Structure 1
């Protein structure tokens, strides 16, 4: 290795070899596949994003000026106070597509408060004609304003630094900028700092970006892309790809993808994936260290952020999701062998997941709010963030081999005529009977994150309904908010967990999951804003052939029940019973 060759990462590269003609050919095909699938945005659409960001930067400066003047600062000082917009996530990494949102951070001087941000800055946003939708979530782990602005989805977070003004050329690389700020500000700053570090730690940014685009698309197609549900999120996938780029600094993107599957299918987990050595800093804050902290030792597939203070980006991974991820790495390795010998292509690697074909039993986990969609968003956000806790509790039940959470929610809103209809809808939502009832109701707004192609079903639903709000179902709030000519608005979210069972013990015929379900109900009900009669949580056992049509995308063939021919019952079989999931709740 030449003395002038820069090195990246915590170990020397595995190979400095340049790409072969075969590598270049596969790389051209990979980029062609990305283009065919609409991974890249048009230049006009990108210019529109830049225009929107420039508008938000001007609003930021106006906001700081207005607040500064209201706090008796001079005209000159208020004009000079600054305020700066930073981007992070997929937009900053350069791997965004036509439907991608923009993650943005606004940084303010020390005297601007979070309350100012959620009142005065939001007021400025609401005055803009480009604003289409806005939702503030002050109580989030990282407080956020979500908005649709001129057709672009933007997640806007806030941080203030302990400095009197924000210069236009400010960067966030200096660790001393993190002094004297609270934890929420620190978490907000972390996104931009991590993204910038990743870009600085890869040898060839264009190679990294194309490889990451492909891996992100693959992870989404295989339904293993969602930090909140126990899978790697966008930052984690970016760091995993970046590490492979460090090990093969002269490779093209197709070769990076090949080695991605080969290396991570053989990785010695829980050995961490690091892009640089973990650094100390000026703060009295916790830095990831499994030697010191028992919680860090429990991380199954640690991928560590490079910016101080280093954290584990994959701490949500459970025993079940780890197995699913490793199986997907192995599948990727097998298909890559086929791509290399010409029997497979990139399309095979990007084949859609089979989650709603794979298991005999599913749990349909439902959150409902008898109020507006905006009110429901607060509850459903908390609800979704707790699903992995239910997964972990299910993993501990004897007979549960795997508890596989699906990575997307399904949402609907309806107007009901009476309290009885509200309760009937909530009780049956996620079942064939509920689908039939919903088809008769007026939708309050189409909000599904998945393809909702619901049709009426005439079959009877044989699923078990475990009702977490049984004691409250007949105590509806007659004073609830009403819309649409005094009708009652109900918004619902459903999530799915696939169960792989292993009931092998003698006499073991059923699976009792009442205890983990009851614990999950209690977790949801302990939310500080939970209101009896307004918020509901339920878990329903649904068999494969009773899944609703809305979980299948257009053109996807739903599994069909095969009719088995009757046979004579042998003496040894006469005492056998079918295995089933049973939860001792209210049906």
Structure 2
């Protein structure tokens, strides 16, 4: 379809009344046409229609087909004798009409003569029909007119280059811990196991078990979370589960006896209990490494050091608290057994967790995705693209969940959905735990946070979908979310306590109640973006933590922040065992945010 460039017609000089000539074509008497001429015109028109469809000009193709229909209706089906008797008069009338049409649209220097038209036995449409379709834009001097041939090796090369650059980006961002840090973490786990072994012997003596049972009883520590999956970064905490026999209670033996033993050790600092959480645990630092230690007890006397908790034997007749505590460990082990390439999975998950933190959509307590959610979503994509490169699976991740038909649940294996929880049917993003056919990942996602997560999936897809994009940089994908540019007003939540120990307990308790505050702000303001980042007000001398939540832009409704604070204080003071700290709430403009 390059006849625009070879024709004597020039598009800028055309008469704008040209489209109206289309409706005059059916009036032409075309009975003189030969069969060859009609076939030639048909093929030319089909060529134009196909070109229009390929280039996305569906409306132009429709007009061309309508013209073809009208022209076919205008053809006379006369006998050969009737055509011969009227041939001379009709040819004369046709010639006059055709020449007048050409005089309208053709440039003065290239008008065909009557003999040229009649003797060539070509119908007028090879000349007129070229104006059915708009010509392509005139090429600039720097435009390459020749099409670039498809070269698969180019895509493979670009894909590999992106994968290599992503690995280098991970190194530059410090996502990979050093060998010294790995040794330190392993040493912490080893010492923690020794403490737990001594603790269970002491508990067995307190419960006055027989001597032979005291000699054989044991407990262990199982790591899970980011450290258990091998995707922890430098400075991240350790999720470790204390697994003990049936006779060790959580209220007395774990939160009292083990707590006191840990508190007396010089390596342990900032230890406190979080008893009211969905999964009760102790939090402390062991040689400077943050530890989250929940508790589970099995219906056995002896717990092997590397107990296989996927074995149904160990899961029989356990209490609900132990079941919830074991869910995270079981999910980790199940996924590691399921994914085809553990190293690729670890690299993928490291990148996605950094992306979620940078874009402000990571943090279960604030209504966003948590570690277990990211793990299941990453495994879902890798299971369906086991041979893809690191760059390709990141692209597929964004593409998959940017257009996922939520609230359809995400399941690693088909057939897991056997019982639907009535609560989860109202969830925005239901995700199944891979180790259970009945259990969902716990989520606090609300309308606002769901919108933010979906928008970030779409952004990631838009930035990574074009593999041939010349100016692509991973730094742009992982760019921190610009809160101060996106929102004009913020809710400032200031939490403080007399010391850091009390502050850690107070902040953990308040964060566990944040979802109620978020829902209340959504009702009054329509939208609220809870920034998960914890800031510190350096102008205050007391230990403090500050949160800044973005409010819906251009919202005119007045927000009575004192009323919101009063209602939320009633919630957080209800059930808190320690001495509550201080909480202040205020409205700030973007210009008032600290640097």
TM-score, normalised with respect to structure 1: 0.70
State whether structure 2 residue 512 is matched by structure 1 residue 385: yes
Aligned counterparts, 1:65-84, within 5 A: 65-84=201-220
What is the CA–CA distance in structure 2 between the aligned matches of 1:350 and 1:261, rounded to whole Å? 13
Shift of residue 407, structure 1, vs aligned partner:
0.4
Shift of residue 376, structure 1, vs aligned partner:
3.3
Larger fraction in helix: 2
Using CA pairs under 8 Å that are at least 6 residues apart, name the structure with larger relative contact order, 1 or 2: 1
Distance 1:158 1:317, change over 3 A: same
Q: Work out which of the residue numbers 388, 403, 414 in structure 1 matches 2:528.
A: 403
Q: Deviations over 1:498-552 (max 9, x none)?
A: 111455xxxx674556665543233223344486xx5443321111111223xxx
State whether structure 2 residue 420 is matched by structure 1 residue 289: yes
| Aligned positions, number | 440
Tell me if the contact between 2:561 and 2:585 (Cα under 8 Å) persists in the aligned partners: no
Aligned counterparts, 1:296-335, within 5 A: 296-308=424-436, 310-313=438-441, 315-335=443-463
Counterpart for residue 360 of structure 1: 488
Counterpart for residue 543 of structure 1: 589
State whether structure 2 residue 190 is matched by structure 1 residue 45: no
Shift of residue 278, structure 1, vs aligned partner:
6.1
What is the CA–CA distance in structure 1 between the aligned matches of 2:402 and 2:328, rounded to whole Å? 28
Counterpart for residue 349 of structure 1: 477
Q: Deviations over 1:415-463 (max 9, x none)?
A: xxxxxxxxxxxxxxxxxxxx76x3xxxx35xxxxxxxxxxxxxxxxxxx
State whether structure 2 residue 253 is matched by structure 1 residue 116: yes
What is the CA–CA distance in structure 1 between the aligned matches of 2:441 and 2:357, rounded to whole Å? 18
Q: Deviations over 1:158-199 (max 9, x none)?
A: 111111221334210023433333222111111111111121
Counterpart for residue 521 of structure 1: 569
Bigger radius of gyration among the two = 2
Tell me if the contact between 2:158 and 2:467 (Cα under 8 Å) persists in the aligned partners: no
Shift of residue 21, structure 1, vs aligned partner:
4.0
Shift of residue 27, structure 1, vs aligned partner:
1.4
Shift of residue 214, structure 1, vs aligned partner:
0.7
Query: Structure 2 stretches of 5 or more lacking a match?
Result: 1-154
Shift of residue 136, structure 1, vs aligned partner:
2.5
Q: Deviations over 1:51-110 (max 9, x none)?
A: 221111122211112221333334442221111110100011110112111100111111
Query: Structure 1 stretches of 5 or more lacking a match?
Result: 1-18, 281-286, 413-434, 445-490, 550-587
Counterpart for residue 305 of structure 2: 168
Q: Work out which of the residue numbers 362, 385, 388 in structure 2 matches 1:251.
A: 388
What is the CA–CA distance in structure 1 between the aligned matches of 2:587 and 2:493, rounded to whole Å? 9
Distance 1:22 1:339, change over 3 A: closer
Tell me if the contact between 2:530 and 2:549 (Cα under 8 Å) persists in the aligned partners: yes
Residue 527 of structure 2 aligns to a residue whose secondary structure is: strand
Shift of residue 279, structure 1, vs aligned partner:
5.1
TM-score, normalised with respect to structure 2: 0.69
Distance 1:110 1:248, change over 3 A: same
What is the CA–CA distance in structure 1 between the aligned matches of 2:270 and 2:575, rounded to whole Å? 26
What is the CA–CA distance in structure 1 between the aligned matches of 2:407 and 2:219, rounded to whole Å? 41
What is the CA–CA distance in structure 1 between the aligned matches of 2:326 and 2:225, rounded to whole Å? 12
What is the CA–CA distance in structure 2 between the aligned matches of 1:517 and 1:48, rounded to whole Å? 43
Shift of residue 401, structure 1, vs aligned partner:
4.1
Q: Deviations over 1:94-131 (max 9, x none)?
A: 10112111100111111111111223223332343432
Q: Deviations over 1:11-57 (max 9, x none)?
A: xxxxxxxx944333221111111011111111222122112211111
Aligned counterparts, 1:555-574, within 5 A: none
State whether structure 2 residue 231 is matched by structure 1 residue 95: yes
Shift of residue 218, structure 1, vs aligned partner:
0.8
Shift of residue 314, structure 1, vs aligned partner:
5.4
Q: Work out which of the residue numbers 161, 165, 172 in structure 2 matches 1:25.
A: 161
Aligned counterparts, 1:181-200, within 5 A: 181-200=318-337
Report the more deviating stretch, 174-183 or 193-202: 174-183
Shift of residue 224, structure 1, vs aligned partner:
0.9
Residue 268 of structure 1 aligns to a residue whose secondary structure is: coil
Larger fraction in strand: 1
Distance 1:255 1:386, change over 3 A: same
Counterpart for residue 374 of structure 2: 237
Counterpart for residue 63 of structure 1: 199
